[in-house]
Amino acid sequence: MTGTAQLTELTADADAAGERLDRWLAGAIETLSRSRLKALIEQGQLRVDGTVLTDPSAKVAAGSVYALDIPAPRTADPTPEKMDLDVLFEDDDLIVLVKPAGLAVHPAAGNWTGTLVHGLLHHCAGSLSGIGGVERPGIVHRLDKDTSGVMVVAKSDAAHQGLAAQFAAHTVERAYIAFTRNAPSPKAGRIETQIARSPHDRKKFVVPRDPHSEAGKHAITNYATLARYGQAPDAAIGTGLAAKVECRLETGRTHQIRVHMGHIGCPLLGDPVYGHKRGNLLATSDNGRELKDFRRQALHAAILGFEHPVTGEALRFETALPKDMQRLEKFLERL
């Protein structure tokens, strides 16, 4: 089956000047991997100010318009691919693992190979739950491609149904660590809104301007500030330039934390979709490029707790920040 071809146009801003082309595009187009973008460029699918450019290592020019033709995808059943998986727990019914940033969970446009599903099909040798269909076998919940952290996948249909029921009932413990531009005020709180697709960009989600709107889906995020970094100028003492925040989900909407933290004026550092502006004061402090080189949303799924859907055992898993977020944290601590 063939889908629909897409044309994506991007205008490079001053911050992108001099950056390697395929790397910049990978940060701006969340749905395509850097290797896929490199291949498309080499195939002549990219035009810069109307002229075809086939060198993925070319430097980005500020103000230029980059138009990428993305050919229509051809869907196919995913085939097993050998992959090193960071497994925390596994039995006959489920598997718990740590997904690294940059790994898509299931096949979709721009990621027809090399996804977590492909690796699971090899690792589990056909023992994944079929409820999710051929493209999402065993997938009960997901993390964004560039979000790292702990996930659970169902190997049996009984486990899939039991886990899905817990997620639907909001009884699963899910805690994320995020680094944000600006610090939340108040330091802890509850964000409860609708989240709907942006009318201007189908890949983005927004909180409707009308607080009484019923558009989209209901979403709840509870947050607590763990640390504040730097001092915002002309603000009360303790008003941070950035913060480390724990977010606990009651619902699991697409991009929920990224949308909600942006909604309260604290977008995630490195987020190419909801937090592109990095803040002048943070940028001028970035002598070592820890911030400028951090090209994904600073979000890690740190804790996942649930009841084993077959045995009834209480399971809880906690994972440390990955190395790139540890480096970012050290930079922020120096502010």
**Domain boundaries defined on the chain:** 6-70, 86-169, 174-306+321-333
Question: CA 145 to CA 188: how far, in whole Å?
Answer: 27
- How is domain 6-70 classified at the architecture level of CATH? Roll (3.10)
CATH superfamily of 86-169: Pseudouridine synthase (3.30.2350.10)
Partners of 151 in beta bridges: 97
Pick the closest to residue 109 from 20, 8, 258 (CA basis): 8
The predicted structure's pLDDT at residue 5: 66
* Domains 6-70 and 86-169 in one fold: no
Model confidence pLDDT, tens digit, residues 72-122? 655 557 889 999 999 999 999 999 999 999 999 988 767 778 999 999 999
Sequence-separated contacts (24+) of 319-327 with Cβ below 8 Å: 319/88, 319/98, 319/149, 319/150, 321/177, 322/100, 322/101, 322/148, 324/101, 324/294, 324/296, 325/148, 325/177, 325/179, 325/298, 325/300, 327/290, 327/294
Confidence (pTM): 0.77
Q: Provide the 3-class DSSP secondary structure of residue 314.
A: strand
Residue 234 is among the residues annotated as catalytic for this protein: no
The confidence band for 2, taking pLDDT boundaries of 50, 70 and 90, is very low
182 and 243 in contact (C-beta within 8 Å)?
A: yes
Question: CA 11 to CA 44: how far, in whole Å?
Answer: 19
Q: Provide the 3-class DSSP secondary structure of residue 3.
A: coil
Question: CA 52 to CA 21: how far, in whole Å?
Answer: 13
Query: Which amino acid is it at 59?
Result: K
Lowest mean pLDDT among 93-97, 130-134, 225-229, 280-284: 280-284
The predicted structure's pLDDT at residue 147: 97
What are phi and psi for residue 285, nearest 5 degrees?
Answer: -90, -5
Q: Which of 93, 144, 146, 271 is catalytic?
A: 144
Model confidence pLDDT, tens digit, residues 239-268? 889 999 999 999 989 999 999 999 999 999
Average pLDDT, integer, range 146-173? 95
Q: Which residue has the higher pLDDT, 126 or 45?
A: 45
Of the CA atoms within 13 Å of residue 6, those in its CB half-sphere come to 13
Question: CA 57 to CA 281: how far, in whole Å?
Answer: 30
pLDDT over 90, % of the chain = 62
SS3 annotation, 171-209: CCEEEEEEEEECCCCCCEEEEEEEEEECCCCCCCEECCC
Task: Assign a CATH topology to domain 174-306+321-333.
Answer: Pseudouridine synthase (3.30.2350)
Burial class (CB in 10 A: 0-12, 13-18, 19+), 156: buried
The predicted structure's pLDDT at residue 203: 78
Q: Provide the 3-class DSSP secondary structure of residue 257.
A: helix
Ramachandran quadrant class, 235 (left: phi over 0; alpha: psi -120 to 50; beta: rest) = beta
Question: CA 49 to CA 191: how far, in whole Å?
Answer: 42
